[in-house]
Structure 1
Amino acid sequence: MYCKDDDRRGTYEQTSFDFLGYTFRPRRAKNRHGKLFVSFLPGVSPKAAKSIRATIRSWRLGATRNNQRLEDLAKFVNPFVRGWVNYYGRFYQSALTPVLRALERSLVYWVRRKFKRLRDHQRRAAHWLGQVARREPNLFVLWSHGIRPATGQ
């Protein structure tokens, strides 16, 4: 196993490995002076990310929960997301952001199924959800961590 970074520039077949849901590989980092460099760091593994997205899909937010309020969805979803953010977001949180965007897409789908006027308008549904996020930034854990939908006007 070769831990490639700015100090070790050799080329080898295997430059990453998975351990406890993290993938250790070369990633960009900042030093204390703000200069970017490449370091060998952990981030959420593709296998763990796939599992998280599968869990989000299994909730079927738009298909089976469109009779619930947004607050009820938040109460259901937040413990899961809080755990993911606390565990996988500990190191290299930006690797977790695309995974949590899947939950945002599910919420937009829920809005489209919940409100008839937004059924055929994905962008408007995202804007509606963004306005709610701006009004109540702590409703969903992912919103309080800075992963918000488009805010609209």
Structure 2
Amino acid sequence: MKSCYLELHPVKTKIVNLRGWSATKYPRKYDFLGFTIRALMQTIKGRGMLLPGTFVSIQSRASILGKFRELAIHKWRKPIQEVARRLNPVVRGLLNYYHRLRGESMREVWNQLNHRLLKWVKWEKGLYKMAAVRWLKRQYKSSPGLFANWKLVQP
């Protein structure tokens, strides 16, 4: 690194075990820019191999869910189109950043967003849970692109 005139930060630089052996000596994962890189068993040409896999970090998911909680979507007294207009830029940004590599680790986030939309329906329309689910599913069938996350997880 010195030949490239680069200096490593002593606290941020560490050795990480991504091969799966000697797990007690080195950590088996690390977080970087909102992602966790860790070993993942994959089958290549019929052989199981441990390869580095990229997932959304637990801290990132927690902060996203906290942001949804802070928005208090269920208290918005607006039509569903207005709710979608306000939420879609946030959802599209999350999709563009976190869904580039591996999207299944974000399923919990999209399900939680759908749960918060269901809570909005219950408050706004004065419906019980199953009636609110049916109402939200009708909205999905009439306009499936209303919310950006509905492309991945249906209500």
Do they fold alike, i.e. is TM over 0.5? yes
The TM-score with structure 2 as length reference comes to 0.80
Alpha-carbon RMSD: 2.0
Percent of matched pairs sharing the same residue: 26
* 2:153 is the counterpart of 1:147: yes
Deviations 1:69-122 (A, max 9, x none): 000010000000101111011111000111121111110000000112x1xx22
Q: What is the aligned partner in structure 1 of residue 30 from structure 2?
A: 17
Query: Once the 2 structures are TM-superposed, how far is the Cα of residue 126 of structure 1 from its aligned partner?
Result: 1.9
The TM-score with structure 1 as length reference comes to 0.81
**Structure 1: tracts of 5 or more residues without a match:** none
| Deviant stretches of 4+, over 2 Å | 26-31, 33-39
Cα distance 1:109–1:41, how it changes in 2: closer, same or farther (>3 A)?
same
Q: What is the aligned partner in structure 1 of residue 18 from structure 2?
A: 3
Cα distance 1:16–1:112, how it changes in 2: closer, same or farther (>3 A)?
same
Q: What is the aligned partner in structure 2 of residue 61 from structure 1?
A: 73
* 2:119 is the counterpart of 1:106: no
Report how many aligned residue pairs link the two structures.
138
What is the CA–CA distance in structure 1 between the aligned matches of 2:88 and 2:35, rounded to whole Å?
22
**Structure 2: tracts of 5 or more residues without a match:** 1-15
1:136 partner amino acid: S
Query: Once the 2 structures are TM-superposed, how far is the Cα of residue 39 of structure 1 from its aligned partner?
Result: 2.8
Query: Once the 2 structures are TM-superposed, how far is the Cα of residue 11 of structure 1 from its aligned partner?
Result: 3.6
Cα distance 1:11–1:83, how it changes in 2: closer, same or farther (>3 A)?
same
Equivalent residue of 2:18, what SS?
coil
Equivalent residue of 1:96, what SS?
helix
1:82 partner amino acid: R
Query: Once the 2 structures are TM-superposed, how far is the Cα of residue 129 of structure 1 from its aligned partner?
Result: 0.8
1:70 partner amino acid: I
**Residues 17-96 of structure 1 aligned to structure 2 (within 5 Å):** 17-27=30-40, 29=42, 31=44, 38-63=50-75, 65=76, 67-96=77-106
What is the CA–CA distance in structure 1 between the aligned matches of 2:84 and 2:51, rounded to whole Å?
36
What is the CA–CA distance in structure 1 between the aligned matches of 2:103 and 2:146, rounded to whole Å?
20
Equivalent residue of 1:25, what SS?
strand
**Which structure carries more relative contact order (alpha carbon 8 Å, separation 6+)?**
1
